[in-house]
Structure 1
Amino acid sequence: MARKGFYFDSSRCVDCKTCQVACKKKFNVPKLLNFRIVSGYEVGKYPNARFYSISGSCNHCEDPACVRNCPTRAMYKDEADGTVQHNDDICIGCQACIMACPYGAPVYLEEEGIVHKCNACIDTREEDGATTCEASCGMRAIEFGDFEELQAKHPDAVVSIACRPDAAITHPSMIISGREYLQDEDYRELEY
């Protein structure tokens, strides 16, 4: 099975949240919910405090907990590209996938009574040439493509960083690089 995924360069991200807004608009996500979230983190203390941002969505994991725990198989892996997809027609809104995902990617759409999440723009990426988040990022901090090719292109990128759950849980198809302090365990998530 093919495996598509994301690369994120934290040194390029300026925390503008354009990727988050573009994704929200494309999928018409309700207020207070997002399929892609830009989070800011601080490490160190004054006068040596440092800041970085992480833009995250569904990681289209190799071993997705959401798929393993979905009782109706509404969450499934696409045979053609290995991305994790969702079938709205058979979702019962039980939220088992939400409870299982260590990354908080699936969200419950209360008005529709179902769960949904990033689908890696499977419906438009062929005609648009990129995912919406990738295309909207003015700093070119996000790339989507064949996961092995992304790993070869960005050999210094890692799967695990301090502010994210252990990659061994689901083997996410997202690699991250850019800031030397991404592994600093003394991080604080910022609320803004």
Structure 2
Amino acid sequence: MTRKGFYFDSTRCVGCKTCQVACKLKNHLPSGVTYRAVANYQVGEYPKAKYYHISHSCNHCENPACARSCPTGAMHRNEADGTVQHNDEVCIGCRSCAMACPYGVPVYLEDEGIVGKCNGCIDTREADGAPTCVAACGTRALEFGDFDELQAKHPGAVTKIACLPSDAITHPSSLVLGGDALMDESYEDLVL
């Protein structure tokens, strides 16, 4: 099975949230709901404090906890590209997937009574050439493609950083490039 995934370069990200806004608009999401979000973190203390941004969405895991917990099969891996997809027609809104995902990705869409999440723009990426978030990123901090190719292209990128749960749980198909700050366990949320 092919395995598609995301690559994120935190050294290029300026925290503008254009990826987040583009995703929200493309998916017609209500206020307070995002499928891709930009979070800000700080490590260290003055005068050696550092901060960084992380743009995150569904990790399209190789062993997705959300799909394993879904009683209807609404949450599943796409056989063609390995992305984790959601079938709105089969979802009963039980939120089992949301509770199982260690990354907190699936969100309950109250008006629809179902769960939703990033689908890697499977419905538009062929015509657009890339997921909406990737195309919108002005600093080119995001990429999407074959996971093995992304790993080869970005050998310094990792699947585990301090602010995320262990990658051993689900084997995420998301790579992050950064520096020592991303590995610092003393990180704190930073409100900008």
Can you list the C-alpha shifts for 1:67-108, whole angstroms capped at 9, x where unaligned?
A: 000000000000100000000001000000000001111000
Number of residue-to-residue matches in the alignment: 192
Partner of 2:3: 3
2:5 and 2:83 mapped to 1: Cα distance? 8
TM-aligned CA deviation for residue 180 of structure 1: 2.7
For the residues of structure 2 that align with 1:141 and 1:56, how far apart are their CA atoms?
A: 12
Show the counterpart of 1:145.
145
Matched residue SS, 1:103: coil
- 1:167 is matched by which residue type in structure 2? D
Q: Residue in 2 aligned with 1:39?
A: 39
Unpaired runs of 5+ residues, structure 1, are none
The within-5 A match list for 1:166-185 is 166-185=166-185
Is 1:93 aligned to residue 93 of structure 2? Answer: yes
- Separation of aligned partners in 2, 1:33 and 1:47: 36
Q: Which residue of 2 aligns with 1:108?
A: 108
Equivalent AA in structure 2 for residue 49 of structure 1: A
Q: Give the Cα separation in 1 of the matches to 2:98 and 2:66.
A: 7
Contact between 1:93 and 1:114, CA under 8 Å: does it hold in 2?
yes
CA distance in 1, matches of 2:13, 2:82: 26
Q: Output the CA distance in 1 between the equivalents of 2:5 and 2:99.
A: 22
Question: Percent of aligned pairs with the same residue?
Answer: 67
- Higher mean alpha-carbon deviation, 105-114 vs 178-187, is at 178-187
Q: Give the aligned CA root-mean-square deviation in angstroms.
A: 0.6
Are 1:18 and 2:18 matched, yes or no?
yes
The whole-number CA distance in structure 1 between the counterparts of 2:130 and 2:178 is 22
Preserved contact between residue 52 and residue 179 of structure 1 (Cα < 8 Å): no
Task: Kindly state the Cα deviation for residue 174 of structure 1 after the two structures are TM-superposed.
Answer: 0.3
TM-score, length basis structure 2: 0.99
